[in-house]
């Protein structure tokens, strides 16, 4: 007589050690459930599942095995795909497929995961990262990212969605990787290869709403949906409603699946400000615990996107926090974009792009920690002075922000080369955790547009909603500009976004590649830049467009990062102690954004560059000017004995 089923997760189809497949489903609104084997091992067959407490149904299919295609028949009527399907080979509307994740031959036994400090993130969309848009093709570019200095990939959502292309934020099969990118084992092979190159992999997941097409959860249980909290993006999960424990278990199981079955190193949680839960233990805190438990043998990270900037998300539980790890810092991006482009419309309204904002962000992370925010007519953020710098993720570009610019143009195309290089240096050498968006490292010519392949009726609604959303930018609302915006469902919009990695070796792109590679090496190898310790730096405004950050070393081996986003700055006198060298030392230029290798014009010594020897009665010449900082330049100065 067969023993009890061996299960890793509370729901889904799981292959058994002795053969066969065990199926388990939560369907409290149904009286009878059977599993219909449509193709592959054991098919055709229909097997009734046994009711269990709490609305679950379960049972064995002795002949079903990896490769079997199946659906659940509900109350003798229609059959639907498994809400916990591990693979949808024909998309969310088709049959589910039995997958055995334990059969994959992993080679990453020595991989220990990711620490909080020392990360250089890279946001990636698998469908446009290469021309082919597959896991296998993306895997081929991993050695170049390792050479660049990337330590962790932040992969945009891959939970299966309808259509041929999309960003992934409308996923509906939350356990199954998108069928268009390849098989589940293709994803596993990608992760295994990344780990072999020293690169971690995190997955962007969407727990704040359900996708509008292909979500069959309502056929099984109404409790999945919260009518009172519908978001701008669609129906929302009900994490604290009556009888909601199985709903929570469902989402926690998705996290366990991605971390455990794909050896992922953590998750990026989308728009956590819209995840509502009044339970004693918030679902986000429980998710963090679930991620840790799913990979006890390696270190994991959980990153938040949180527009309202709630610092409690990344505080430890003993300090009243949720125990997560990092949070995107929109404040830094917004002030950087104002500095780069000079535009301050819509949600850029409350930023000036001035040097004090960059100094404050380097020291404290969020710029808004409870002040009044005009754009939203409310206060923004919470105090975050106690947080480690590494907990803030800084970026000059991400998927949303590029797509919100005219024509999906990358911000380096909307700014001067010198200013872009200077802010890139600030991004990659600052104490917070930097993140690049795919192609940024070689100044890719491909834009990044919003694209989504929906059926015609939904496509019209999505296009209309997209235009209404962008209309908050006055320039994008202009008829002559709005008419140029491509329709999200147009396949050419998707095709235009595909990267050409051959560009990184071509003139006009290779310079950007060298810039990013050298800066990431400097960040990795210089102990002042990789320390990321709270209180390890100070900063000062030097002019209308210039500032200095001083990174303090243990033995006076300090570093200066000087950034000038405006015209050449002449400082005389210089009543700023942060520019003074340590005792019995002098400053030496260690790195410059004006290096011709990066497309610069050459670097002049910023201190005492010209000496006046004509002054009478002086044994030593004196400087004609004190400090001269070239326009649109970033410099790294190192102290040395002298």
User: Catalytic site residue 305?
Assistant: yes
The single residue listed with the structure tokens 């050896």 is 263
Q: Are residues 20 and 8 in contact, defined by beta-carbon separation less than 8 angstroms?
A: no
Nearest to 516 by CA among 436, 601, 418: 436
DSSP letters, 293-310, are: HH-TTSB-EEEE--TT--
Strands (E), 465-606: 537-543, 546-551, 559-564, 569-571, 585-592
Which residue in 270, 325, 545, 632 is the catalytic one? 270
Nearest to 72 by CA among 91, 55, 47: 47
Q: List Cβ neighbours of 494 (8 Å cut-off, separation of 6 or more).
A: 127, 128, 164, 165, 449, 451, 453
Residue 85 CB-half CA count within 13 A: 37
Pairwise CA distance, residues 127 & 453, whole Å = 13
Between helix 355-364 and helix 330-341 the angle, nearest 10°, is 160
Pairwise CA distance, residues 549 & 566, whole Å = 17
- Token pair in block for residue 387: 């947080």
Q: Is 20 left (phi over 0), alpha (psi -120 to 50) or beta?
A: left
- Token pair in block for residue 443: 């100044």
Which residue in 277, 305, 325, 350 is the catalytic one? 305
DSSP 607: B
For the purposes of burial, counting CB atoms within 10 Å of the CB of 332, is it exposed (0-12), middle (13-18) or buried (19 or more)?
Answer: buried
Nearest to 247 by CA among 220, 227, 274, 269: 220
Pairwise CA distance, residues 453 & 446, whole Å = 19
- Token pair in block for residue 468: 């209404």
The residues annotated with a catalytic role in the active site are 270, 305
């Amino acid at each position: 007589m067969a023993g009890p089923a061996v299960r890793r997760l509370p729901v889904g189809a799981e292959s058994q050690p002795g053969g066969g497949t065990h199926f388990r489903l939560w369907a409290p609104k149904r009286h009878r459930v059977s599993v219909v084997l449509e193709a592959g091992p054991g098919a055709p067959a229909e097997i009734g599942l046994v009711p269990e407490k709490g609305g679950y149904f379960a049972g064995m299919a002795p002949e079903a095995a990896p490769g079997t295609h199946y659906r659940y028949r509900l109350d003798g009527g229609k059959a639907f795909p498994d809400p916990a399907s591990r693979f949808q080979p024909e998309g969310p509307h088709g049959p589910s497929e039995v997958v055995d994740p334990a059969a994959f031959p992993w080679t990453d036994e020595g991989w220990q995961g990711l620490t909080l400090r020392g990360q250089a993130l890279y946001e990636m969309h698998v469908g446009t990262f290469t021309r082919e848009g597959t896991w296998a093709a993306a895997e081929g570019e991993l050695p170049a990212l390792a050479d660049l200095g990337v330590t962790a990939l932040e992969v945009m959502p891959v939970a299966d969605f309808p259509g041929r292309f999309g960003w992934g934020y409308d996923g509906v099969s939350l356990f199954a990787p998108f069928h268009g990118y390849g098989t589940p084992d293709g994803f596993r092979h990608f992760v295994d290869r990344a780990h072999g190159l020293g690169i971690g992999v995190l997955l962007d997941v969407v727990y704040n709403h359900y996708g509008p097409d292909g979500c069959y959860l309502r056929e099984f249980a109404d409790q999945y949906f919260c009518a009172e909290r519908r978001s701008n993006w669609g129906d929302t999960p009900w994490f604290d409603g009556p009888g909601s424990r199985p709903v929570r278990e469902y989402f926690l199981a998705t996290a366990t699946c991605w971390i455990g079955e794909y050896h992922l190193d953590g998750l990026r949680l989308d728009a956590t400000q819209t995840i509502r839960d009044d339970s004693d233990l918030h679902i986000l805190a429980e998710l963090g615990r679930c991620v840790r438990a799913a990979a006890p043998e390696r270190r994991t990270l959980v990153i938040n996107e949180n527009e309202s900037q709630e610092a409690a998300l990344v505080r430890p539980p003993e300090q009243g926090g949720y125990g997560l790890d990092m949070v995107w810092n929109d404040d830094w991006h917004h002030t950087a974009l104002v500095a780069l482009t000079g535009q301050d419309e819509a949600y850029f309204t409350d930023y000036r792009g001035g040097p004090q904002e960059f100094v404050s962000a380097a020291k404290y992370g969020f710029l808004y920690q409870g002040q009044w925010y005009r754009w939203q007519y409310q206060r923004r953020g919470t105090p975050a002075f106690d947080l480690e710098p590494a907990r803030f993720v800084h970026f000059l570009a991400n998927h949303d922000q590029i797509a919100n610019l005219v024509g999906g143009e990358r911000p380096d195309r909307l700014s001067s080369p010198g200013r872009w290089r200077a802010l890139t240096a600030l991004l990659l050498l600052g104490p917070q955790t930097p993140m690049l968006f795919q192609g940024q490292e070689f100044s890719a010519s491909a834009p990044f547009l919003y694209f989504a392949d929906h059926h015609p009726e939904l496509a019209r609604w999505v296009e209309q909603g997209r235009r209404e959303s962008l209309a908050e930018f006055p320039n994008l609302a202009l008829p002559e500009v709005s008419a140029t915006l491509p329709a999200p469902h147009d396949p050419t919009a998707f095709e235009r976004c595909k990267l050409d990695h051959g560009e990184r070796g071509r003139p006009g792109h290779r310079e950007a590649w060298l810039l990013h590679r050298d800066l990431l090496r400097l960040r990795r190898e210089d102990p002042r830049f990789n320390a990321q310790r709270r209180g390890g730096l100070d900063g000062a405004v030097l002019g209308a467009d210039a500032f200095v950050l001083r990174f303090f070393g243990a033995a006076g081996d300090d570093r200066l990062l000087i950034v000038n986003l405006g015209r050449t700055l002449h400082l005389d006198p210089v009543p700023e102690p942060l520019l003074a060298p340590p005792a019995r030392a002098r400053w030496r230029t260690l790195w410059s954004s004006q290096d011709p290798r990066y497309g610069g014009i050459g670097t002049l010594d910023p201190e005492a560059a010209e000496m006046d020897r004509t002054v009478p009665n002086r044994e030593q010449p004196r400087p004609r000017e004190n400090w001269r900082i070239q326009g649109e330049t970033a410099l790294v100065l190192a102290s040395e004995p002298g």
